[in-house]
Amino acid sequence: MMSDTLHQLESTIAARRAAAPDASYVAQLRARGLPVMARKLGEEAVETVVAALGADDAELTGEAADLLFHLLVLLAERGIALDDVLAELDRREGVSGLDEKAAREG
């Protein structure tokens, strides 16, 4: 199940945040700070968009995985749990995307 995989990844990220930067990519990102994490997430988002416009499904799949990973790293740094994001998605279930957007803008 997808959320099981994402929850396991969230746990792995949490465990690696305290590691020495030379022992963990997550710890390296954390040592470099939130702005670097945010920039890396943006880079991964752009790479995902570029891959979406290409014909290689495997490339898009890989970039999407990178994007989800870096999103979870950023959320962990901000202290936001995956369950909080999932709860927000649940809250939006059955609500028109246009209505939800209008409510945020209003």
State pLDDT tens for residues 92-104. 888 777 776 777 7
Residue 33 has pLDDT above 70, yes or no: yes
The span from the CA of 73 to the CA of 19, in Å, is 14
Q: At residue 23, what are phi and psi to the nearest 5 degrees?
A: -110, -10
Count the neighbouring beta carbons within 10 Å of the beta carbon of residue 60.
18
Report pLDDT for 12.
97
pLDDT (tens digit, 9 = 90+) per residue, 62-92? 999 999 999 999 999 999 999 999 999 999 8
Count the neighbouring beta carbons within 10 Å of the beta carbon of residue 30.
21
- Supply the pTM of this predicted model: 0.87
Contact assessment for residue 32 and residue 95, using Cβ atoms and an 8 Å cutoff: no
What is the rounded average pLDDT of the residues 43-54? 98
Q: At residue 68, what are phi and psi to the nearest 5 degrees?
A: -65, -40
Average pLDDT, the chain: 93
The span from the CA of 39 to the CA of 42, in Å, is 5
